[in-house]
Structure 1
Amino acid sequence: MTPRLIFTADDLGLAAEVNEGTERAHREGVLSAASLMVGEAGFEEGVRVARSNPDLAIGLHLTLTDGHPVLPAARIPSLTQKNGRFRDDMASLGLLLALSREARAELAAEVAAQLARFAETGLRCDHVNAHKHYHLHPHIAAALMQAAAGAGVRAIRLPNEDPAMPRKADPSSRKLPSALLNGWVAVLRKRARNWGLAAPDRVLGFAWSGAFSADRLRAVLPLLPGGVTELYFHPAMRGGFAGSAPGYRYADELAALTDAQVREAVSGLPRGGYAAMLG
């Protein structure tokens, strides 16, 4: 079976550096999809990038931490800090969502608001996922799946990464609790199907988040089996911008997506967004 590839950029709309890097990765490289943050400073420019590149499939990058809400913070006090930003204590918020019906109601309202803001752009929502994979939380997953299905979205990222693959490509790759994670992802996959949401067969980028270099990409491409694989990146022109993650090698990830050897390696393979590859 021929590999079918989705090359995705997360954080479109976060900052000008990310928007420019995403556009370059698509126009000059192999990037085929991007996930849009709808509450951040670069949102409007990110939408312009999306409209100017109709072959770039655009999805929602749901943000519930390390960012700004779409709803007024006063309407979702369980989710926000005094400065109006989302809470950054993901574990504590996760526990609150498990215990508080009120917090879950606020969550559902904010998820719906982010999907509504995406819809206002007129762009087709190719897929959904969440910043920092926060939709692995059962209540966030439930809220996102229900709202996405109601909005007509048909695909979701579920980060089931085979731990052997990144370590075979680069033995220095960090180890993750993949057996536990992938067991839970299998549960989420069944729940997603119940909502009519499809997911790629596998995802790559978790072990290399912020450090998915050209060397690693060139090494892992020949290892990919048949079926649909999503490879996700964080391309940007440079690091150090407002909202950037410490230690992320943004320019290196952009270089990976525009690498000449990578372009040659995937030139004969099906490549696109979720709808095109999963349809």
Structure 2
Amino acid sequence: MKRLIFNADDLGLAPETNEGIERAHREGVLTAASLMVGEAGFEEGLRVARANPGLAVGLHLTLTDGVPVLPAAQIPALTQKNGRFRDDMAALGLLLALSPAARSELAAEVAAQMARFAATGLSCDHVNAHKHYHLHPQIAVELMRAASGAGVRCIRLPWEPGPLVRAADPASPGTAEWALKPWCRVLRRRASRLGLLAPDRVLGLAWSGHFTVERLLAALPHLPEDGVTEIYFHPATAGGFPGSAAGYSYATELAALVDPRVAEAVGAAARGGYAAMLLPNDAPGGTGKPTP
């Protein structure tokens, strides 16, 4: 039986994302969401999480294009003069590789975000990072350590199979699978040593911000029967809000998740959060078998 995680990034970013994620869960197929704990919509995102206990919520670690949990003065290597995180991801990545002081600030901020999530009282279903910044070796190390220390068992490793993307949409350019596949394999081994599991594959990278219902309906029949597939989205009721990505079709992604044709196409496939799909014996109410 196929095991699917329908996940939404950016819970807690803005009213538009919070409302879109709640609708996608209540009216559609969404089973999980990743919470940003430092953004303006955090409290409302927390309300959405608490009001929807069937929605598995994890930490969406934010280290770029966002607001830190710690005071900017405590993490100057990571922030700009305006108090927000730096947006020059490549330059910051190089600094993290070269500077022990910057890595110390990184560890402190990751720990602070994990602690803020823990303070909500929610069970942390999984961890991942905004813009997949945890593909950086130092960020991956700190996120995995923090997650393991907090008892979190699941992480996203964004390897997307190129043939799957092209089977659904031959015109899609796909992603740098030649680099992502071996690196995610390395990260998977590191995660495993800390007791963290990841879905076998991810879908949504090549179509980030442009995941239409047509693409979703075309992809579903091609998903492998074995293992766990995470399909992730950025649903919102509209774009143009503070923190939104230029050109993203947020409402289009929401429409894909609530389209009745998608629910019909999913059929008897098991759906749930990371823990429910990867650790069915350990998930709340787990029976050893994913629940359709």
CA–CA distance in structure 2, aligned partners of residues 198 and 190 of structure 1: 9
The equivalent of 1:273 in structure 2 is 273
CA–CA distance in structure 2, aligned partners of residues 53 and 177 of structure 1: 36
Q: TM-score, normalised by structure 2?
A: 0.95
The equivalent of 2:143 in structure 1 is 144
Give ranges in structure 1 of 5+ residues lacking alignment. Answer: none
The equivalent of 1:187 in structure 2 is 186
Deviation at 1:174, TM superposition (A): 2.2
CA–CA distance in structure 1, aligned partners of residues 79 and 195 of structure 2: 31
Once the two structures are superposed, residues 126-172 of structure 1 have per-residue CA deviations (whole angstroms, 9 ceiling, x without a partner) of 00000000000000000000010000000000001101111110112
Structure 1 counterpart SS, 2:54: coil
Instruction: Write the mapping of 1:160-179 to structure 2, written as runs, cut at 5 A.
Output: 160-179=159-178
Deviation at 1:118, TM superposition (A): 0.4
Give ranges in structure 2 of 5+ residues lacking alignment. Answer: 280-292
8 Å contact from structure 2 (residues 8, 30) kept in 1? yes
Instruction: Write the mapping of 1:106-117 to structure 2, written as runs, cut at 5 A.
Output: 106-117=105-116
The equivalent of 1:6 in structure 2 is 5
The equivalent of 1:129 in structure 2 is 128
Identity among equivalent positions (%) equals 73
Superposition CA RMSD, Å: 0.6
The equivalent of 2:238 in structure 1 is 238
Once the two structures are superposed, residues 61-108 of structure 1 have per-residue CA deviations (whole angstroms, 9 ceiling, x without a partner) of 000000000000000000000000000000000000000000000000
Structure 1 counterpart SS, 2:257: helix
The equivalent of 1:76 in structure 2 is 75
Deviation at 1:267, TM superposition (A): 3.0
The equivalent of 2:26 in structure 1 is 27
Structure 2 counterpart SS, 1:6: strand
Once the two structures are superposed, residues 1-47 of structure 1 have per-residue CA deviations (whole angstroms, 9 ceiling, x without a partner) of x2100000000000000000000000000000000000000000000
CA–CA distance in structure 1, aligned partners of residues 179 and 262 of structure 2: 32
The equivalent of 1:260 in structure 2 is 260
Residue 248 of structure 1 aligns with an amino acid whose one-letter code is: Y
8 Å contact from structure 2 (residues 160, 175) kept in 1? no
CA–CA distance in structure 2, aligned partners of residues 174 and 180 of structure 1: 15
The equivalent of 2:48 in structure 1 is 49
Structure 2 counterpart SS, 1:117: helix
CA–CA distance in structure 2, aligned partners of residues 100 and 17 of structure 1: 38
Deviation >6 Å, runs of 4+ = none
Residue 266 of structure 1 aligns with an amino acid whose one-letter code is: V
